[in-house]
């Protein structure tokens, strides 16, 4: 049962939370959309975000001397899967441009990719060119370098740390059990179980052949 | 009715506050009258929220555009079914919908508490009333669907066309049913911690509601994938969007809990861990809602443009703080009643499974938050999209799949070498044969090969368990094979229902691995022109354009293209895809054009046709061959059926009023013989 002091303490935690939370949330919070009269017009509907059709910038480089297409159409499509359309749809260029003509950004970015491919640039050079123009947001996944490595490695490191903790705990438990078992060798007597529980035990025994 | 609904919402706010105060006070002072008053307050809150919901539905269906919510999410020419579904289509309505489900669940959970659980009920009722108070207050003050406009527009904005899909009617409600149900186990866990009644009763209630939550989350997530696939037109069903991730997180921890609870029921172990999983599942549901409604992370869902973020942050921090406090101060009451005997045992396998499930949950959360962390640390905005999540989660998923097969093969307590050999031989052989056969047939994708090998292994496990069980029943009771199968499942619902869930997982992983062989093609066709393509299985497809056409129906202009399709020279009929431009009552275009995909499904692959647009009478199309997609829906369905079997109350449990299994020594041969 909770006592009064505990209750007040728990309430205090809630108070601290009230002070901290708005600061945490304020970073990302955006006001509701404003209509022409300054009145809030759009509820937060579960719909796709509005597109920014002016987001395309030019990513062009002079063709390399004696340039020929640096990759096949399939390889180019694969490359376009790695570059993000900047219209706000969160899709890659290939998917966006082949899904909807309404977007003018992904076709423009596609033309830039085509031009760089024709200019003899490699996949990595093309990705670098897009990053130079749009920043790292141009990539569908961060490059595996610098701080980004934390993104890729932390989940595995956490899992490894969890595995170490788990195995250590299990070993300790195993040791304790062995000690207790040595001191008390007699197992509990079998208990008759009612209804289907008995049947389950029989089935278990029959399946496992442990009986 | 609308006014009654609006007033009911405010009355519900007071009722929830009353219920919380009297329930906690009654529990603290041991006064039955206050506890009863709190309980009745909770029922009254549920009734008031129901009235408020009826009020909003009335406003929607009567097109009362004086309400900002109605004007923002519906229009006069929308089909009725979507007007009805608009209740949960926008921010404010979805908050009320969440509150409605929570209120009904809470009333049902408290009403269902039996004599044994009475001591828990007051604290659980208080906790649920507090959660309800938060949701009602957020709805009243930050996202009120009854807010009025200063003028009455002639028509509303309508609903985003991509929401005008039958999926809209079923996907959000099922997802909410799962998401909100996490509150009930949380409330009973908090009640058990406060009252220190950490015995079998709370566990029984928590397990029941965790299963309900898991069941609906499974259906909701599967329906969401289906909706994205048939409606959005990007030829996939999972994009690792923050909103998708938010629904996946509680599913992962809930699944971990449903495994580890078995160890507590049978062995009295993992008591602390289970409490942590129960509360984490609820807190992740709240945190996920905060993430996707605060704008902290970027999502395709404009829920991000919402003013409720700071309220959810406050609630999340408060709940987490209070939970940590209660868990920390009750650690002694949560000591295990038994110890693990071997690291090679069913218990240990469940723990490894828990580790991987929680590890995946962590990696999904980490990936979702990494853009924010990166911006904090480096000041650089980055995108963390599907390539990142696939890199990190595919190995973890395969590890989980392997454990799905290993766990059921290991005996409880301690597995002997002979037991392991006997149990593993057949499934491992099936797995190896599957992998080798596919390699010989030319499959070279490493991840897909590993996935199918493991699918073979897990299938072997499941088949072996069923085979042994059916054979045992056949031998013991002289039952026919069909009867033995039905009775095996009916009398061991938890175990064999669980295996059916595992079968669903195998089907899902097989389907996911099939995407490694997906092929997309850009195709431009004028009327009468044709194109030949080869699918990943080597079949030759021929597409002949029937030309494009335009029409006007209900609330949209439609541009469509029809393709006559042959596979290996055999006609397959016509597949058509549409571009739709929705308009309002004045025929003014609304929203961006949307895509209606043409899909031809077979067990081997889906033909997926998207009309991207029409230029100079030439249809610009994407034609995709998506292998094994239908098995995603079948896998989800099989998992749901398995979940339903597990959830179905066993007769003996109904009689006993709460069943907690214990691991007893196996009966002797004499006992077995006497039963025969």
Overall average pLDDT of the B557-563 stretch? 91
Q: What is the pLDDT of residues B18-77, one digit of tens each?
A: 999 999 999 888 888 999 999 999 999 999 999 999 999 999 999 999 999 999 889 888
Please state, as a whole number, how many other Cβ atoms lie within 10 Å of the Cβ of residue B554.
Answer: 10
A148, with CB counted inside 10 A (0-12, 13-18, 19+), is buried
Token pair of B116 as six digits? 């044994």
Cα of A165 to nearest chain B Cα, Å: 10
Question: CB–CB of B90 and A43 under 8 A?
Answer: yes
Question: CB–CB of A174 and B341 under 8 A?
Answer: yes
In the three-class reduction of DSSP (H, G, I as helix; E, B as strand; rest coil), residue B458 is classed as helix
Given a cut of 70, is residue B138 above it in pLDDT?
yes
Decide: B509 and B451 in contact? Cβ < 8 Å.
Answer: yes
CA distance B645 to B496: 8
Give B329-334 contacts, CB < 8 A, sequence gap 24+: B329/A6, B330/B193, B330/B196, B330/B198, B331/B272, B333/B196, B333/B198, B334/B198, B334/B271, B334/B272, B334/B275
Nearest CA in chain A to B297: A28
Residues 6 or more apart whose Cβ sits within 8 Å of residue B631: B507, B508, B510, B511, B514, B603
Question: CB–CB of A41 and B378 under 8 A?
Answer: no
Tally of CA atoms within 13 A in the half-sphere of A72 that contains its CB:
2
Q: What is the pLDDT of residues B412-462, one digit of tens each?
A: 777 778 888 888 999 999 999 999 999 999 999 999 999 999 999 999 999
Question: CB–CB of A166 and B664 under 8 A?
Answer: no
Question: CB–CB of A29 and B310 under 8 A?
Answer: yes
Task: Specify the DSSP class assigned to residue B203.
Answer: H
- Residues paired with residue B556 on neighbouring β-strands, in sequence order: B553, B582
Q: Which residues of A touch B383 (CB under 8 A)?
A: 84, 90, 136-142
Q: What is the pLDDT of residues B327-347, one digit of tens each?
A: 999 888 887 777 777 778 888
Q: Which residues of B touch A207 (CB under 8 A)?
A: 465, 468-469, 472
CA dihedral B463, B469, B471, B473 (to 10 degrees): -150
CA distance A45 to B145: 12
What is the Cα B240 distance to its own chain's centre?
A: 14
**Quick one: which H or E segment has residue A211?**
none
Interface pTM, i.e. ipTM = 0.82
CB-based contact, B374 to chain A, within 8 Å? yes
Q: Which residues of B touch A135 (CB under 8 A)?
A: 380-381
Among A9, A97, A207, beta carbon nearest to B468 = A207
CB burial readout B169-191, b (16+ within 10 A) else e? ebbbbbbbbbbbbbbbbbbbbbb
Given a cut of 80, is residue B288 above it in pLDDT?
yes
Question: CB–CB of B362 and A188 under 8 A?
Answer: no
CA distance B133 to A15: 16
CA distance B97 to B115: 31
Among A21, A99, A177, beta carbon nearest to B313 = A21
Question: CB–CB of A48 and B160 under 8 A?
Answer: yes
Residues 6 or more apart whose Cβ sits within 8 Å of residue B451: B398, B401, B509, B510, B512, B513
Given a cut of 90, is residue B156 above it in pLDDT?
no
Nearest CA in chain A to B614: A101
- Residues paired with residue B574 on neighbouring β-strands, in sequence order: B564
Given a cut of 70, is residue B167 above it in pLDDT?
yes
User: Best residue in B472, B496, B519 to probe A by mutation, most A CBs within 10 Å?
Assistant: B472
Closest CA to B389 of A111, A62, A142, A93: A142
Alpha helices in B295-345 (DSSP H): 309-329
Cα of A140 to nearest chain B Cα, Å: 5
Residue B563: pLDDT band with limits 50, 70, 90: very high
Decide: B309 and B294 in contact? Cβ < 8 Å.
Answer: yes
CB-based contact, A203 to chain B, within 8 Å? yes
pLDDT of residue A55: 80
pLDDT of residue B584: 75
Among B295, B387, B675, beta carbon nearest to A28 = B295
User: DSSP letters of B598-662?
Assistant: EEEE-SSEEEEEEEEEEETTEEEEEEEEEETTHHHHHHHHHHHHHHHHHHSPPHHHHHHTS----
User: Best residue in A16, A27, A46, A188 to probe B by mutation, most B CBs within 10 Å?
Assistant: A46
Among A16, A194, A200, beta carbon nearest to B321 = A16
Token pair of A171 as six digits? 């070993």
Nearest CA in chain A to B143: A43
pLDDT of residue A8: 47
CB-based contact, A40 to chain B, within 8 Å? yes
pLDDT of residue B270: 82
B539, with CB counted inside 10 A (0-12, 13-18, 19+), is middle
Question: Which of residues 561 through 590 in chain B touch A, CB cutoff 8 A?
Answer: 579
Among B143, B612, B666, beta carbon nearest to A211 = B666
Question: CB–CB of B520 and A94 under 8 A?
Answer: yes
Token pair of A3 as six digits? 């006592």
Computed on alpha carbons and rounded to an integer, the radius of gyration of chain B in Å comes to 27
Token pair of B367 as six digits? 């990936």
Given a cut of 60, is residue B609 above it in pLDDT?
yes
Among A1, A155, A158, beta carbon nearest to B195 = A1
Token pair of B514 as six digits? 């099939």
Among A141, A171, A188, beta carbon nearest to B387 = A141
pLDDT of residue A57: 87
Decide: B42 and B133 in contact? Cβ < 8 Å.
Answer: no
Question: CB–CB of B366 and A151 under 8 A?
Answer: yes
Decide: B564 and B531 in contact? Cβ < 8 Å.
Answer: no
Given a cut of 90, is residue B299 above it in pLDDT?
no
Given a cut of 50, is residue B621 above it in pLDDT?
yes
CB-based contact, B387 to chain A, within 8 Å? yes
CB-based contact, B149 to chain A, within 8 Å? yes
pLDDT of residue A34: 34
CA distance B394 to B383: 19
Nearest CA in chain A to B269: A173
CB-based contact, B303 to chain A, within 8 Å? yes
Give B476-479 contacts, CB < 8 A, sequence gap 24+: B476/A202, B476/A203, B476/A206, B476/B675, B476/B676
CB-based contact, B25 to chain A, within 8 Å? no
Residues of chain A with pLDDT under 50: 1-2, 4, 7-8, 10-11, 13-49, 185-195, 210-211
In the three-class reduction of DSSP (H, G, I as helix; E, B as strand; rest coil), residue B511 is classed as helix
Q: Which residues of B touch A90 (CB under 8 A)?
A: 239, 241, 298-300, 383, 385
CA distance B461 to B470: 14
Among A17, A28, A211, beta carbon nearest to B321 = A17
Computed on alpha carbons and rounded to an integer, the radius of gyration of chain A in Å comes to 31
Q: Which residues of B touch A6 (CB under 8 A)?
A: 329
CA distance B187 to B184: 5
Q: Which residues of B touch A97 (CB under 8 A)?
A: 612
Task: Specify the DSSP class assigned to residue B551.
Answer: E
Lowest mean pLDDT among A107-121, B75-89, B531-545, B558-572: B75-89
Residues 6 or more apart whose Cβ sits within 8 Å of residue A20: B313, B317
Nearest CA in chain A to B172: A46
Bigger pLDDT: B86 or A183?
B86
Token pair of B463 as six digits? 């088949």
Any idea how long chain A is? 211
Sign of CA dihedral B645, B649, B653, B657: positive
Decide: B284 and B249 in contact? Cβ < 8 Å.
Answer: yes
Overall average pLDDT of the B505-523 stretch? 94
For helices B417-440 and B446-477, what crossing angle results, to 10°? 130
CA distance B621 to B563: 10
φ, ψ at B138 (rounded to 5°): -60, -40
Q: Which residues of A touch B301 (CB under 8 A)?
A: 46-49
Closest CA to A153 of B649, A21, B551, A161: A161
CB-based contact, A87 to chain B, within 8 Å? no
Residue with the two structure tokens 């529990």: B27
Given a cut of 70, is residue B404 above it in pLDDT?
yes
Residue B308: pLDDT band with limits 50, 70, 90: confident
Question: CB–CB of A162 and B622 under 8 A?
Answer: no
Q: What is the pLDDT of residues B88-113, one digit of tens each?
A: 888 889 999 999 999 999 999 999 88
Question: CB–CB of A140 and B383 under 8 A?
Answer: yes
CA distance B301 to B528: 39
Question: CB–CB of A84 and B383 under 8 A?
Answer: yes
Give the predicted TM-score (pTM) of the model.
0.86
Average pLDDT, chain B: 88
């Amino acid at each position: 049962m909770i006592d009064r002091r505990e209750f007040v303490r728990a309430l205090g935690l809630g108070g601290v939370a009230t002070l901290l939370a708005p600061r945490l949330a304020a970073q990302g919070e955006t006001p509701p959309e404003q209509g022409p009269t300054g009145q809030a017009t759009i509820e937060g509907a579960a719909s796709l975000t509005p597109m920014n059709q002016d987001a395309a910038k030019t990513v062009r480089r002079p063709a390399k001397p004696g340039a020929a297409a640096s990759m096949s159409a399939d390889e180019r499509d694969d490359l376009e899967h790695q570059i993000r359309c900047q219209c706000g749809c969160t899709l890659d260029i290939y998917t966006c441009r082949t899904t909807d003509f309404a977007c003018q950004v992904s076709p423009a970015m596609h033309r830039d990719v085509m031009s760089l491919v024709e200019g003899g640039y490699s996949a990595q050079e093309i990705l670098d060119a897009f990053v130079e123009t749009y920043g790292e947001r141009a990539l569908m996944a961060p490059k595996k370098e610098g701080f980004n490595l934390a993104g890729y490695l932390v989940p595995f490191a956490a899992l490894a740390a969890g595995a170490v903790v788990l195995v250590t705990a299990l070993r300790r438990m195993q040791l304790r059990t062995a000690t207790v078992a040595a001191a008390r060798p007699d197992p509990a007597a079998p208990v008759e179980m009612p209804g289907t529980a008995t049947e389950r035990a029989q089935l278990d025994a029959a399946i496992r052949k442990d009986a | 009715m609308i006014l009654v609904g609006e007033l009911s919402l405010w009355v519900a706010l007071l009722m929830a506050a009353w219920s919380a105060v009297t329930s906690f006070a009654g529990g603290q002072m041991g006064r039955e009258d206050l506890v009863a008053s709190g309980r009745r307050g909770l029922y009254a809150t549920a009734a008031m929220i129901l009235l408020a919901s009826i009020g909003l539905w009335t406003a929607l269906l009567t097109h009362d555009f004086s309400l900002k919510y109605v004007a923002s999410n519906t229009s006069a020419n929308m089909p009725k079914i979507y007007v009805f579904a608009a209740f949960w289509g926008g921010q404010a309505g979805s908050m009320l919908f969440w509150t409605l489900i929570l209120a009904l669940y809470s009333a049902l959970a408290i009403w269902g508490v039996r004599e044994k659980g009475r001591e828990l009920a007051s604290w659980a009722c208080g906790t649920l009333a507090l959660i309800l108070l938060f949701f009602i207050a957020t709805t009243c003050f930050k996202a009120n669907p009854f807010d009025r406009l200063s003028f009455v527009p002639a028509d509303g904005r309508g609903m985003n066309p991509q929401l005008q899909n039958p999926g809209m009617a079923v996907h959000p409600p099922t997802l909410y049913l799962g998401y909100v149900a996490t509150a009930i186990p949380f409330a009973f866990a908090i009640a058990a911690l406060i009252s220190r009644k950490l015995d079998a009763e709370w566990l029984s209630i928590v397990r029941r509601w965790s299963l309900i939550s898991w069941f609906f989350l499974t259906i909701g997530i599967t329906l969401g994938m289906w909706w994205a696939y048939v409606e959005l037109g990007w030829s996939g069903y999972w994009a690792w969007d923050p909103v998708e991730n938010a629904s996946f997180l509680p599913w992962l921890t809930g699944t971990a809990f449903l495994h580890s609870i078995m160890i507590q029921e049978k062995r009295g172990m993992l008591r602390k861990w289970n409490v942590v999983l129960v509360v984490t599942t609820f807190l992740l549901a709240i945190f996920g809602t905060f993430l996707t409604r605060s704008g902290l992370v970027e999502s395709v869902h404009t829920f991000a443009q919402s003013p409720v973020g700071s309220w959810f942050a406050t609630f999340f921090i408060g709940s987490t703080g209070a939970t940590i406090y209660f868990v920390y101060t009750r650690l002694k009451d949560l000591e295990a009643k038994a110890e693990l005997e071997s690291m090679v045992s069913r218990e240990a396998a469940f723990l490894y499974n828990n580790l991987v499930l929680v590890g995946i949950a962590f990696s999904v959360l980490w990936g979702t938050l990494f853009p924010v962390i990166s911006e904090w640390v480096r000041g650089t905005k980055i995108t963390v999209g599907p390539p990142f999540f696939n890199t990190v989660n595919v190995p973890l998923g395969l590890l989980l799949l392997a454990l799905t097969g290993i766990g059921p093969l290991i005996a409880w307590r301690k597995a002997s070498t002979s037991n392991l050999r006997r149990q593993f031989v057949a499934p491992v052989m099936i797995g190896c044969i599957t992998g080798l056969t596919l390699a010989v047939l030319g499959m070279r994708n490493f991840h897909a090969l590993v996935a199918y090998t493991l699918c073979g292994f897990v299938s072997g496990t499941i088949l072996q368990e069923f085979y042994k069980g059916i054979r045992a029943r056949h031998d013991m009771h002289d039952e026919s094979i069909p009867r033995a199968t039905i009775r095996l499942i009916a009398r061991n619902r938890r175990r064999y229902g669980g295996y059916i869930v595992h079968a669903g997982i195998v089907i899902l992983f097989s389907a996911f691995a099939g995407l490694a062989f997906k092929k997309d093609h850009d195709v431009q066709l004028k009327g009468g022109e044709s194109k030949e393509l080869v699918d990943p299985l080597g079949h030759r497809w021929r597409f002949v354009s029937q030309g494009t056409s335009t029409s006007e129906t209900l609330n949209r202009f439609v541009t469509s293209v029809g393709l006559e399709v042959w596979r290996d020279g055999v006609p397959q009929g016509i597949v058509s895809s549409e571009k739709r431009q929705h308009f309002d009552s004045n025929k003014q275009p609304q929203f961006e054009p949307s895509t209606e995909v043409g899909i031809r499904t077979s067990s081997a692959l889906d033909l997926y046709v998207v009309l991207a647009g029409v230029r100079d009478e030439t249809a610009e199309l994407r034609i995709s061959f998506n292998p094994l997609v239908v098995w995603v829906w079948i896998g989800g369905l099989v998992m749901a059926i398995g979940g339903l079997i597990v959830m179905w109350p066993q007769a003996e449990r109904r009689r006993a009023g709460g069943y907690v299994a214990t691991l007893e020594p196996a009966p002797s041969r004499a006992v077995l013989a006497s039963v025969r």
